[in-house]
Chains A and B, each alone.
Chain A
């Protein structure tokens, strides 16, 4: 697909989700489509990794619904630290007002679980493209 043709260097993705199955399956999906994916079980883990100078990913996949720190809380925490990473939020809830809420908060896309590969890749494409255009 389009990701194959953009660059020889693989796009790096970070997945933050408290559900292990989701983390593993999303990592696999990213892998097979040639994206380099790292997964964290919570927002705090990711923030900690960033502080230990882990490389910033090109795109962030966040679960909206996590104990401790929710997806949007993590997003706000990152912005508060001046870290701007194009972010995609996904949720298992079916409340329609969520998308609108996230759209206004500077989030690239809000997807609903179950996540279809096509939608996800399109959103990543958009996110990464967006970063490229602003950079």
Chain B
């Protein structure tokens, strides 16, 4: 039965159980409290030292639904009237009753406004809200009406004396009693449930005993022996105990008892609050309780807040599917989550990961690394760096093979930001993710290959032409040779020259076939150093026949001494070929004499090479300029719109960038920026997906 039940229950008016339970407790408290009022009273001012009905009514209102408030208000007013009339005049009883009601409504209204559940003092913020509403504002409003009542009935010649008396007594009640009563009513009405274990009950008994003993010591001693008022501090440890172990409710219960004991001692003439005039004694007592309550309740609120944080922390740790372990600075496990414990017993856990709280993780890594476990060595190195403060973060990916199954894990080590240091280890099983990644890569490769084949299909006529050229020359030469052999077989030198040409043309044909094969092949990515000039020339070679057919005049402008690129040559050829064909398509409606395509390769700054294909075609429609490289975006009637999209994917995989813009004069330029080869060959994006995987120990 949670606190929600009560509030959310406001939609279910049929549930009267909380009301019945609340009334059954509230009625006796209201009668007793109102009867006690006149007893706990300033001798010469008509107001109480501690006004229990205020705390009782506010508490019961704060934990119940507003539509049921009327019942408690009626009960309170009847009790008030019954205990004060006919001792006091009716007008006094009515005005004082109005003051009491207004005060409780202000307090309960403010508490309901600022607390979503029955008010819980679980932090400094909630304490401030509570004190402002129930200890300051509501008593001030009540005192304003109450003091007027006193003055109008001739109880006081000044306004401020009764105001202060009303205010202080209610503020004191709000601070010392209200938290305990809220918890009590919430419990009775089903909003909270106490966990009353045997240990808990025993602790309450022990606390009560200590409270009784310390209160007796503080308030029953002879005033003549109270020189330093030292016994006054005797209840303080008990208050702190209650605050730390039982929260604001427990602290408030102890404060209430101490207050009653102090009032009783004033009446008896023992304890520290004796000596001067009775009203001065009482004011001293009130101020003592006020100033003690504030730090004790602060402590209770902070302790409750800390408990919430711990609960939150545990809930968070338990919710992670990943396995989490927290280490201190010397590599000892402070805490692990459920998932870590489960995994430690599973077959895929490596030896050094089979640890629980209290085990020395770092030492385990060292031992495994010493036995040649490469993963342990990797983790050890990273963990030492993080614990030593030289790195804030470390991650490693490794494979583990058990019974023919292979699983991939990543281990993240994050520095613990706190005094004393430490680290948080998070391990996750990424086998499925990795598998999906490999599948995506394979699909991308297939798609890229299909796109390449499609481009080649476009160029098939051109390839036939390129093959037929040398074949034709070979045939003519061979037929000439046959004729020469028939007519003048002695002309060996001539025949030699012919044969030399036949061989050269044969090689030329073979080169065409070779080039075609390279583009058609569906092999894995082959990374190599690529000279930009070579790349440009080869692509123009591939496209040449097609360019001629389309009447496009293509020129290449390559800066001298460009550094080499690092990548897959076939893929980059595919990209350039796509850009060139794209430019050609854009110029299909341009006058034949104006179809110029310029291919440039120049330094791109920041260690990159800038390739550009500039055409004089129709340009890119403004609506498409941002979406040009998205799949299925095309300006061609028969285009699939995959060429540029795949080109962009390829370029991105090379760590580069592909973009297009319209030229100022005519047509558009497609730009491609690619990083130059690093000496270490590790700076391009290509390696990102080829992360070397640490070897798991194949035990």
- Chain A residues proximal to chain B, CB less than 8 Å: 19, 21-22, 24-26, 28-29, 31-33, 65-67, 90, 92-95, 113-117
The answer to whether B501 touches A25, judged by C-beta atoms less than 8 angstroms apart, is yes
Given A32-B487, A93-B461, A94-B461, A113 contacting B477 (CB threshold 8 A): no
Query: Considering only CB atoms, which chain B residue lies closest to A115 in the complex?
Result: B472
**Which residues of B lie under 8 Å from residue A93 when comparing CB positions?**
461, 464-465
Given A28-B498, A32-B484, A93-B461, A116 contacting B469 (CB threshold 8 A): no
A32 and B483 CA atoms in complex are apart in Å by: 7
Given A25-B501, A32-B487, A113 contacting B479 (CB threshold 8 A): no
Query: Considering only CB atoms, which chain B residue lies closest to A18 in the complex?
Result: B548
The answer to whether B487 touches A115, judged by C-beta atoms less than 8 angstroms apart, is no
Give B467-493 as 1s and 0s: 1 = Cβ < 8 Å from A's Cβ atoms: 111111111110110011001000000
A113 and B508 CA atoms in complex are apart in Å by: 16
**Which residues of A lie under 8 Å from residue B498 when comparing CB positions?**
28
**Which residues of B lie under 8 Å from residue A31 when comparing CB positions?**
480
How big is the B interface, by class?
Answer: 20 to 34
**Which residues of B lie under 8 Å from residue A19 when comparing CB positions?**
469, 473
Q: Does B373 contact A (CB under 8 A)?
A: no
- Which 5 residue pairs of A and B lie closest in terms of their CB atoms, listed nearest first? A92-B468, A25-B476, A21-B473, A113-B472, A114-B472
**Which residues of A lie under 8 Å from residue B468 when comparing CB positions?**
92, 94, 113-114
Query: Considering only CB atoms, which chain B residue lies closest to A20 in the complex?
Result: B473
Q: Which of A22, A65, A116 contacts B473 (CB 8 A)?
A: A22
**Which residues of B lie under 8 Å from residue A95 when comparing CB positions?**
461
Other A-B contacts than A65-B465, A94-B461, A95-B461, 17 sampled, CB-CB below 8 A, are A19-B473, A21-B473, A21-B505, A22-B472, A25-B476, A25-B501, A29-B480, A32-B483, A33-B483, A65-B548, A66-B548, A67-B553, A92-B467, A93-B464, A93-B465, A113-B469, A115-B472
Given A19-B469, A22-B469, A66-B548, A116 contacting B475 (CB threshold 8 A): yes
Give B493-531 as 1s and 0s: 1 = Cβ < 8 Å from A's Cβ atoms: 000001001001100100000000000000000000000
A22 and B476 CA atoms in complex are apart in Å by: 8
**Which residues of A lie under 8 Å from residue B156 when comparing CB positions?**
none
**Which residues of B lie under 8 Å from residue A26 when comparing CB positions?**
476
Q: Does B549 contact A (CB under 8 A)?
A: yes
**Which residues of B lie under 8 Å from residue A24 when comparing CB positions?**
473, 501
Give B536-554 as 1s and 0s: 1 = Cβ < 8 Å from A's Cβ atoms: 0000000001001100010
**Which residues of A lie under 8 Å from residue B548 when comparing CB positions?**
65-67
Query: Considering only CB atoms, which chain B residue lies closest to A25 in the complex?
Result: B476
**Which residues of A lie under 8 Å from residue B475 when comparing CB positions?**
114-117
Given A21-B501, A65-B545, A29 contacting B464 (CB threshold 8 A): no
Given A21-B473, A33-B483, A94 contacting B501 (CB threshold 8 A): no
- Chain B residues proximal to chain A, CB less than 8 Å: 461, 464-477, 479-480, 483-484, 487, 498, 501, 504-505, 508, 545, 548-549, 553
**Which residues of B lie under 8 Å from residue A113 when comparing CB positions?**
468-469, 471-472
A19 and B467 CA atoms in complex are apart in Å by: 12
Query: Considering only CB atoms, which chain A residue lies closest to B548 in the complex?
Result: A67
Query: Considering only CB atoms, which chain B residue lies closest to A111 in the complex?
Result: B472
**Which residues of B lie under 8 Å from residue A116 when comparing CB positions?**
475, 479
A103 and B422 CA atoms in complex are apart in Å by: 89
The answer to whether A92 touches B473, judged by C-beta atoms less than 8 angstroms apart, is no
**Which residues of B lie under 8 Å from residue A94 when comparing CB positions?**
461, 464, 468
Query: Considering only CB atoms, which chain B residue lies closest to A95 in the complex?
Result: B461
Query: Considering only CB atoms, which chain A residue lies closest to B461 in the complex?
Result: A93
The answer to whether B479 touches A117, judged by C-beta atoms less than 8 angstroms apart, is yes
A92 and B475 CA atoms in complex are apart in Å by: 13
A95 and B464 CA atoms in complex are apart in Å by: 10
A90 and B469 CA atoms in complex are apart in Å by: 11
From residue B462, how far is it (CB to closest CB) to chain A in Å?
A: 9
**Which residues of B lie under 8 Å from residue A114 when comparing CB positions?**
468, 471-472, 474-476
Given A65-B548, A115-B475, A116-B475, A25 contacting B465 (CB threshold 8 A): no
Interface centre among B471, B479, B484, by most chain A C-beta atoms within 10 angstroms, is: B479
**Which residues of A lie under 8 Å from residue B487 when comparing CB positions?**
32
User: Can you list 26 A-B pairs with a CB-CB distance of less than 8 A?
Assistant: A19-B469, A21-B508, A24-B501, A25-B472, A25-B473, A28-B476, A28-B477, A28-B498, A29-B476, A29-B477, A31-B480, A65-B465, A65-B545, A65-B548, A67-B548, A90-B472, A92-B465, A92-B467, A93-B465, A95-B461, A113-B469, A114-B475, A115-B472, A116-B479, A117-B479, A117-B480
**Which residues of A lie under 8 Å from residue B545 when comparing CB positions?**
65
A22 and B553 CA atoms in complex are apart in Å by: 23
**Which residues of A lie under 8 Å from residue B479 when comparing CB positions?**
29, 116-117
A88 and B60 CA atoms in complex are apart in Å by: 112
Query: Considering only CB atoms, which chain A residue lies closest to B491 in the complex?
Result: A32
From residue A75, how far is it (CB to closest CB) to chain B in Å?
A: 16
**Which residues of A lie under 8 Å from residue B480 when comparing CB positions?**
25, 28-29, 31-32, 117
Query: Considering only CB atoms, which chain A residue lies closest to B508 in the complex?
Result: A21
The answer to whether B483 touches A21, judged by C-beta atoms less than 8 angstroms apart, is no
Query: Considering only CB atoms, which chain B residue lies closest to A31 in the complex?
Result: B480
The answer to whether B465 touches A21, judged by C-beta atoms less than 8 angstroms apart, is no
A28 and B470 CA atoms in complex are apart in Å by: 15
A66 and B553 CA atoms in complex are apart in Å by: 12
A114 and B553 CA atoms in complex are apart in Å by: 26
**Which residues of B lie under 8 Å from residue A25 when comparing CB positions?**
472-474, 476-477, 480, 501, 505
From residue B127, how far is it (CB to closest CB) to chain A in Å?
A: 89
Query: Considering only CB atoms, which chain B residue lies closest to A118 in the complex?
Result: B479
A31 and B483 CA atoms in complex are apart in Å by: 10
A67 and B501 CA atoms in complex are apart in Å by: 24
From residue A23, how far is it (CB to closest CB) to chain B in Å?
A: 9
**Which residues of A lie under 8 Å from residue B553 when comparing CB positions?**
67
From residue B413, how far is it (CB to closest CB) to chain A in Å?
A: 63
**Which residues of A lie under 8 Å from residue B469 when comparing CB positions?**
19, 21-22, 92, 113
From residue A26, how far is it (CB to closest CB) to chain B in Å?
A: 6
Interface centre among B466, B469, B474, B483, by most chain A C-beta atoms within 10 angstroms, is: B469
A22 and B509 CA atoms in complex are apart in Å by: 13
A8 and B549 CA atoms in complex are apart in Å by: 41
**Which residues of A lie under 8 Å from residue B504 when comparing CB positions?**
21
A119 and B690 CA atoms in complex are apart in Å by: 58
Query: Considering only CB atoms, which chain B residue lies closest to A19 in the complex?
Result: B469
